[in-house]
Structure 1
């Protein structure tokens, strides 16, 4: 029995369809080709005349697969998009075709677009998603998982070959509830969301902590990016624990100084008192050497008492618990009243002293005891480091009456510009490093405490070069040789 070949069919040509860059073909109810445009010839490698009248499955690459035929029949009814990967054996390259199948009266129409370039970009994105350390999961609009990267397999113990095609909620944890709510909200309103440090409940998550970024996808689905922050959170918790321990240690240190300060002061005051009685022959005549030794012991005890007070005060300042009691202070009456014991030190070193406080200065609203401590520290520092010349204390209102300046200028060796911040650091002193006589040099706490007190009162202390009037400055190897001026600035009002 001979086979009768199909009669030759002349495929018509339509100008608009021939002008398309995409392939277009039609088939009748028996899926025999009735139209085949020039772009279809190029995409499928089949000439128009060869395709005419033939069954679609014979000329459409990949359509010989029964599953493809079923899909084409199904999408013809639904009008959806069918993706095919086509290998052109003659030209030895792979083409990715996007095929849209739609139903016609008595047949189907296929609109075919070359999606090779788009697929290449998609492959690049796939490679990128596979290379990142964060887990990536994507679902479509029907909540079916469509993509799981390699990191997600590791982080959430989710095998992609078993997850793809499965509904998300079948494997996703119910807790914490706000994670599922955030994913559903992004699916609904298409707004991205970020969740910090959450612990999904479920065996696959293995008690790990994640930051989760949720983003809408162009096809209507959503993507979830899981960043494993378990180690970071553990470090933050550890740092918080160490910070709490350090804070508690600081409080314990402060409590210790507060507790022992009275116990230290009591015997020191007794030593000062008894050595003074010995030096003044209250208990009878003592040898001259013993009197001098008593005086020296008294000076040492007073120095140690000041050191105890300074360390205690510095510790109190560090924890910001120093009480401040503000009242009205008239500098024209306040400053002269605090000078007697300092004038004795000036006279002992043969230093000149000048006090310049205009009577018309406005009053300060500040803590008088703290102000006394600050000015005493500045004057004591000036006297200590000035061996000839003098010290000047003056006050004035500045910046249109908004600030009060109380300045102490000396004729000592000065402070180099590069050291004008360092002198305010605790235990920092300028001078010869090899000199360890703290009784004469001090402890290096006075200026540090003075600045912190000034800031506690809302002001500050700075160092500048003084304006000289008459007194010859002292030269020194560790300073500028022009003296120094420490300026206390406090707010008025």
Structure 2
């Protein structure tokens, strides 16, 4: 005749979780009721602590305090939130009792744990409906309120329609039901954080995906906010379907990528076409010069005037093409900077000599004043020369009387940079227009009868080149009196 362990039979027939642990909380006995509540088999639970098995992150210290209270007082009764094997949070009504041997030493702790989540949901749902039910129905967004265990206690009509559930079907369901599985872990962590924080954060928001009743995922913007309610904190989730916004953002991104690809193709095309565009113009300029010198034969005054017009127009067009090609090279990253070692004094004297005839044609004086001392630079010589030519050419163009000065000096109080000033007595620049002059294709003289010719590329190109060599351009100006453009060039590039 077999022997029946009536004690074990009674324990296993009890629907509540009955657990026996060591005084340190390690599981010694785990009933079928415990498996039904928390999801672990007896074999999976054996030897592990309750803190490791069923206590949510952040609540371990509270669990240790309960063990200490049980050992000290012999028992404890409390309600707490606990975690199942699959990560769900439950409200548990617990009691614990210390089991002592004959000499009074605690050998075991008997735990009784009853799942009261459904009862808690019913109570919280009634409280939420009474306090907030009418209000949330008036809001345009989907509103879902959950208790600290993440169980939905209130959902407005907009939320039920958005996620495809019939009226009342969401009550008591875990909040994770509305999110794809990949978000479940972080969402539980946020719920616990809201529960434990004495002053929980307000309006925690993020973009993620929602999941409808039929399994379809869609992008949502969700904002979590704590709502104090009696002895606990409810979590209000305001959820907005952002599918249309994401569609527009995606379309804009594709458009921007297409525009960027087209711009890059344009820059690469222009950069590669530099020889093809320049060669014919150089031939026109060269042959025009040959004709003007009379090498093929004499030309009359009328022909000379026409040839000079052709030559001037060709040079102007070549200058425009050069500027455009240089800008497209910079934009496409095809500019190769050199590290030249050169005397800046010689470079400035050469630029002044180059543009002196242009100044004389307008009746202007042109002076080059370079301070004494070492004026050696190690940077891209061509870039510095082009910047100075552009600045000096602009100064001459916009000056009708007086003169232009080209000055250079070491930066005061610093041995790291050279300052090159281009000073003119021209028309000046109004304060509100100074930010515009470095923009491409921008000219301050935009009237129908423009007084000054130009493309509006020179200053933009100069500013970009200055940045590439680690320098900068600053401007000071008084309308009607003139301007000072200052190029700052590091003594050593990089």
Q: Please report the TM-score for the alignment, with normalisation by the length of structure 1.
A: 0.64
Alignment of 1:71-220 (within 5 A): 123-140=130-147, 145-165=152-172, 167-168=173-174, 172=177, 176-188=180-192, 190=195, 196-204=206-214, 206-213=216-223, 219=232
Is 1:241 paired with 2:248? no
Q: Secondary structure at the match of 2:422?
A: strand
Distance 1:219 1:247 in 2: 53
Aligned partner of 2:293 among 277, 280, 285: 280
Distance 1:423 1:231 in 2: 41
State the Cα distance separating 1:147 from its structure 2 match. 1.8
CA deviation map 1:361-401 (0-9, x unaligned): 45333221110000000111112222332211101223411
Is 1:313 paired with 2:326? yes
Distance 1:307 1:79 in 2: 84
CA deviation map 1:74-95 (0-9, x unaligned): xxxx999xxxxxxxxxxxxxxx
**Larger mean Cα displacement after TM superposition, 344-353 or 147-156:** 344-353
CA deviation map 1:112-131 (0-9, x unaligned): xxxxxxx9997443333223
Aligned partner of 1:385 among 398, 409, 422: 398
Aligned partner of 1:263 among 263, 276, 284: 276
Distance 1:185 1:420 in 2: 54
**CA separation of 1:137 and 1:432: change in aligned 2, threshold 3 A:** closer
- 1:31 maps to what in 2? none
Distance 1:433 1:390 in 2: 26
Q: Secondary structure at the match of 1:423?
A: coil
Contact 2:268 2:332 in 1 (8 A): no
Distance 2:184 2:421 in 1: 66
Distance 1:422 1:201 in 2: 51
Contact 1:214 1:222 in 2 (8 A): yes
Is 1:452 paired with 2:456? no
Please give the root-mean-square deviation of Cα atoms over the aligned residues, in Å: 3.3
State the Cα distance separating 1:301 from its structure 2 match. 0.8
Distance 2:217 2:191 in 1: 26
Contact 1:357 1:396 in 2 (8 A): yes
Contact 1:186 1:216 in 2 (8 A): no
Structure 1 unaligned residues grouped into runs of 5+: 1-77, 81-118, 466-478
Contact 1:187 1:221 in 2 (8 A): no
Aligned partner of 1:349 among 362, 372, 393: 362
Is 1:434 paired with 2:448? yes
Contact 1:458 1:491 in 2 (8 A): yes
Contact 1:209 1:230 in 2 (8 A): yes
Contact 1:186 1:222 in 2 (8 A): no
Distance 2:362 2:224 in 1: 77
Q: Please report the TM-score for the alignment, with normalisation by the length of structure 2.
A: 0.64
Q: Secondary structure at the match of 1:350?
A: coil
**CA separation of 1:130 and 1:349: change in aligned 2, threshold 3 A:** same
State the Cα distance separating 1:355 from its structure 2 match. 1.2
Contact 1:361 1:396 in 2 (8 A): no
Contact 2:405 2:423 in 1 (8 A): yes
- 1:115 maps to what in 2? none
State the Cα distance separating 1:195 from its structure 2 match. 7.3
Alignment of 1:294-443 (within 5 A): 294-401=307-414, 402-431=416-445, 433-436=447-450, 441-443=453-455
Distance 1:433 1:140 in 2: 69
Distance 1:162 1:444 in 2: 67
Higher Rg of the two aligned structures: 1
